[in-house]
Structures are given as structure tokens and as C-alpha cells.
Amino acid sequence: MIEVHNLTKRYGSKLAVDHLSFEVEPGQVTGFLGPNGAGKSTTMRLILGLDRPQEGRATINGKRYAQLSQPLRTVGALLEARALHPGRSARDHLLYLAQTQGLPRRRVDEVLGLVGLQDVAGKRTKGYSPGMTQRVGIAVAMLGDPEVLLLDEPVNGLDPEGILWIRNLMKQLAAEGRTVLVSSHLMNEMAVTADHLIVIGRGRLIAALPTQEFIERSAGRSVLVRSPAAAELARLITARGGTVAMPPGAGAGGPTGNGAAVSPAAEVPAGAGAAVPPGGDGAAGTLSVTGLEAARVGEIAAEAGIVLHELTPRLASLEEAFMETTAGSLEYGVPASGMPGQDQQGMPAPDQQGAPAADQQGGRAPDQQGAPAPERAP
């Protein structure tokens, strides 16, 4: 269990961590998310006693890091995998760490086997690829068989097999009742690995809640509908309070790839039947509906005797939910016009950059845990 309370870290005038409070429970993988510069690595360093906070405290199983008698047996960490002596082999690096903590020599070979580096463990680390270096870092974190793991972007540099391996490792460690806090920018990976999320922006807490809930609360929920009478259905849905848009590629016919992006620009005004082009398969048009549940859309269609070819509730992806939730907290965002293929969702307007997070987050305070509370209209 990791407890962070009111943690605050300033570097000169820069507030890297701003009165941050959260808990990381054992028995699940907790994803630590936030845009570049949000304060994730700083928070991890503070938890590990590598930096001193100006305010607040962080404890591991109720103790500050400095109070742990055998720290490597309690908490394993991967912060900066490159922090290895280039002239030393992976085995020697692990051996030296094991000896400082009274860990048996055989544990070094165990963790080398765990990360798949047995065959190269005698070679100097300066010749290692980024993925190999990352594996050494993971071996170091696992050395003391710790109850608590802090992994800062452990997936970086790993090949697909390595990514799958670390995903399963983290899930297994959590299933054994350990506490696992992992940061990553790979949202697809986090979506399938993390049970719980802590999302921060500009050093402040934005959300702390189960991954599924984070996605479900996103405004990106929609219902994909295909019908040969799409124009008529669009009118009825709009009249009953729903919002209808054409998902990208709707005019091409057939179900669209993700269907989740609902561009306001493509909204169909009530009565604008001509705006819904027929699809290529039996003239079925595709609509993306927000503001009504799939069941309600089905009922509206049934009342009017309208045939449906498809009725699919869609959730936003974790990436979309993340972009939406952190849009006001980007520190190094690129204006949307500079990103080909990006829609406006999640991208800050140029004038939003550099403004304090509180201004755009509606003053979301650390005590508002569990609420991604996107204040933007869908």
C-alpha cells in the first residue's frame, strides 16, 4: 500500500507536484497517467525518498522510505533504466545490489531468468539495447521480491513479446497481493493492464478511480446505428433529445472503424435528411448518437417501424477518455492544426497553453477523487 498525502514539490518557481493525495491499494495494477511534465516521475521519486517534498508525505506500508529496514525487500522500483555503470555487467550490477541488502546470490540468477537475460548477463551493459537495459531495470526492481513495485514507463523499448511479458508479470504480481504502480503513455497497454488509474495533470490530481469507470464516465460514449431509413431516424432521435452525428467514413457504407469520434462539425440538424448519405450495402446510413442509450434508440426505431441493421453501444477508448480529461492540463501540447489527422478532441486551443490547471479544471481539488468530471460538452 502506498499513501501519498498533500505531497508538494517545487523546483524554483516550478510547482512539479501540487498538494497531491492518493492511495495505491495492493492486489491490483494501478496505472499512473498524465501528460508529459505532469509530475509522475517526481511523485515516484518523492515516494522513494529520492527527493524531499516541501509539504506533505508519502509512505509505503505506513513507513517513509528512509524508515524501511530492508528497502529492496519492501519496494522495488524502476525509475531510470539507463542508470547503470556502462562497464559493469548486468550480473555484477545485480550482485552488488543483492550484497548491500543481504539478499542471496541465487536471487540474482532467478531475476536474470525472470527477465530473460541469462545469456547476456556477463556482458558489459554499455553494449545493451534499450530493451535489454529496460529488462535489467526490471530485474533490479524484482531483486528483493518486494511487496510494492513502482515502475516508471517500464514498457519503453520493449519488443512486442517483452510488452506482453511485462503486462502478464504486473498482473501476476498484483494477483499475488502486491501493490503495483506503473506509469505509461501507452494507453492501449494501460487499458488492458491497469485495474485502477491515478491521473494527474500539472502536478494535481485529476482522477483516481477504476479504469473501467474512467472510460465509462468519458463523454465519448455513443451509439452506432445503421439503418436504411437513417435520415428519418435521425430526425426522430433529434426530436427526442439525442444528438446525431455521422461518424467519420459514414458515407462509405458499412460499420466504421472506431465510431467513437463524434465530430461536432458533422452533426446532423433536425430535419436535415439529405445530410445522411446512403451507405453502400442496401442503402443503410450510419449514425452516431449521443445523449440517448442504445435501448432508447431501438425503441424509437421500433415505434416508427424503422428497420435497424446495427445498434452498437460504444465506449470511448482509454486514449480518448485520457485526452478529454487531461486536455486542460497539457504543458507541452501542440496546437491541433499542427497535428495532421488529429481532431480537436483533447487538443488544447493555443490560448489555453500555459494557463494554470485550476482555470480549466473547474478548480478540481485533490479531494474530488473518483471524478474525471469532464466539463466539456460532448
Whole-angstrom distance, CA of residue 288 vs CA of residue 222: 6
Cβ–Cβ under 8 Å, residues 227 and 262: no
Whole-angstrom distance, CA of residue 309 vs CA of residue 283: 11
**Residue 168 interacting with ligand ATP (CB under 6 A):** no
Nearer to Mg ion, 79 or 120 (CB): 79
**Residue 24 interacting with ligand ATP (CB under 6 A):** no
Count Cβ atoms below 10 Å from residue 375 Cβ, excluding itself.
10
Q: What, of ligand ATP, Mg ion, none, does residue 71 touch, CB below 5 to 8 Å by kind? A: none
- Which grid coordinates are listed for 360? 480549466
Cβ–Cβ under 8 Å, residues 370 and 210: no
**Residue 202 interacting with ligand ATP (CB under 6 A):** no
Q: Is 267 exposed, middle or buried (0-12, 13-18, 19+ CB in 10 A)?
A: middle
The minimum distance between CB 80 and Mg ion, in angstroms, equals: 9
- Per CB under 6 A, the segment of 29-37, 205-213, 264-272, 339-347 that binds ligand ATP is 29-37
**Residue 107 interacting with ligand ATP (CB under 6 A):** no
- Which grid coordinates are listed for 287? 449514425
Nearer to ligand ATP, 20 or 38 (CB): 38
- Which grid coordinates are listed for 295? 435501448
The minimum distance between CB 248 and Mg ion, in angstroms, equals: 33
Task: Please list every residue from 31 through 50 that binds ligand ATP, using CB under 6 A.
Answer: 34, 36-42
Residue 223, sorted as left (phi over 0), alpha (psi -120 to 50) or beta, turns out to be beta
- Which grid coordinates are listed for 257? 472503424
Nearer to Mg ion, 73 or 185 (CB): 185
**Where would I find the beta strands (DSSP E) of 125-174?**
148-152
Nearer to ligand ATP, 191 or 300 (CB): 191
Nearer to Mg ion, 36 or 337 (CB): 36
- Per CB under 6 A, the segment of 9-17, 110-118, 263-271, 334-342 that binds ligand ATP is 9-17
The minimum distance between CB 132 and ligand ATP, in angstroms, equals: 21
| Sign of the torsion formed by the C-alpha atoms of 46, 153, 329 and 376 | negative
Residue ranges binding Mg ion (CB under 5 A): 40-41
Nearer to ligand ATP, 243 or 360 (CB): 360
Chain residues in the site for ligand ATP (CB under 6 A): 11, 14, 16, 34, 36-42
